[in-house]
Amino acid sequence: MVDINQYKKVLREQSIVEWSNIGLHIKDRRKKFLLFMIDTDSKASPFDINMAYESGYDMCVHFSGLSPEEATGFMLDLYYSRYEKNHKYTTIFLNGKDFDKVYDAFNKAKKAMGGTIKIPIVIDPRGAATTAASLVAKMKGILIEKGESFKNRKITILGGTGPVGRIAGALCNEEGADTWIVET
C-alpha cells in the first residue's frame, strides 16, 4: 500500500520523482536537474511546459522551431558543456506535431552522441507516445487478468496511421502480437 503523504511531501518539496517497480525514490537534491524542451514546431505546448515544472525540474529551457538538421549541433553543445557524471541529471524532451520530424531529430541527436544515448531523451510528439503507451498498458492489464497476453494475437488498429496508432502498433508488436494498422 502506498502512503499518499509520501506523494504530497514530494510535491511540496518539488523533488524529481523516479517511478519504478520498486517504488518511489526521491533523487539527490544537491544536483541540479535540467530539462531541455526541444520542439520542432514554432510554438511550445503550455501543457508540456507546465508538466515539466510540476515534475520538479530545477530549470526548464525551451527551444522552438528546431529542425532535425540542427539537432546534431544542439546535442553536441549540450553533451560537452556538462560534466559526464552530470549527464544523468539532464533530460531532453523532444516534441512537435510532426511525428517523423521528431523521430528524425531523435536519430540525429543519438548519432551525435556516438550512437549511444548518454543523456536521457524523452520523445512524446504532442502526447502520442504517452497516449499509446497508456492504451497498450490498459489492454495488457485486461489480458493479464484473463491469464492471457499479446503473444501470437492478431491486433488490428483501425484509423491507426497517425502518431498514436503507429506507436500503439509498434508496442503491440513488441509484446508479440501480429499487428496490422488500417487506414480508414
Domain 31-123 falls in which CATH fold? Answer: Rossmann fold (3.40.50)
Instruction: Determine the pLDDT at residue 80.
Output: 83
Distance of CA 57 to the CA centre of its chain: 15
Domain with CATH 3.40.50.10280 in the chain: 31-123
Contact 34, 91 (CB under 8 A): yes
Instruction: Determine the pLDDT at residue 172.
Output: 95
DSSP summary character for residue 127: G
Helix ranges, the chain (H): 4-13, 46-54, 68-80, 99-112, 128-145, 163-174
Contact 110, 94 (CB under 8 A): no
Contact 104, 68 (CB under 8 A): yes
Q: pTM for this structure? A: 0.72
Which pairs count as long-range contacts for 101-106, CB under 8 Å and 24+ apart, including other chains? 101/40, 101/67, 101/68, 102/40, 104/68, 104/71, 105/38, 105/40, 105/66, 105/67, 105/68, 105/71, 106/71
Instruction: Determine the pLDDT at residue 130.
Output: 92
> In which element (H, E) is residue 18 found?
strand 17-19
Q: Which residues of 123-161 are buried (b: 16+ CB within 10 A; e: fewer)?
A: bbbbbbbeebeebbeebbeeeeeeeeebeeeebebeebe
Instruction: Determine the pLDDT at residue 115.
Output: 64
- What's the first-to-final CA gap in the chain, in angstroms? 44
Instruction: Determine the pLDDT at residue 28.
Output: 55
Tens place of pLDDT per residue across the chain (184 aa) = 445 455 445 444 443 444 443 444 455 556 788 999 999 999 888 888 888 889 888 899 999 999 988 988 888 888 888 888 888 889 999 999 998 999 999 888 888 877 666 788 889 999 999 999 999 999 999 999 999 999 999 999 998 899 999 999 999 999 999 999 998 8
Instruction: Determine the pLDDT at residue 22.
Output: 40
Instruction: Determine the pLDDT at residue 108.
Output: 87
Residues in CB range of 50: below 8 A, 6 or more apart: none
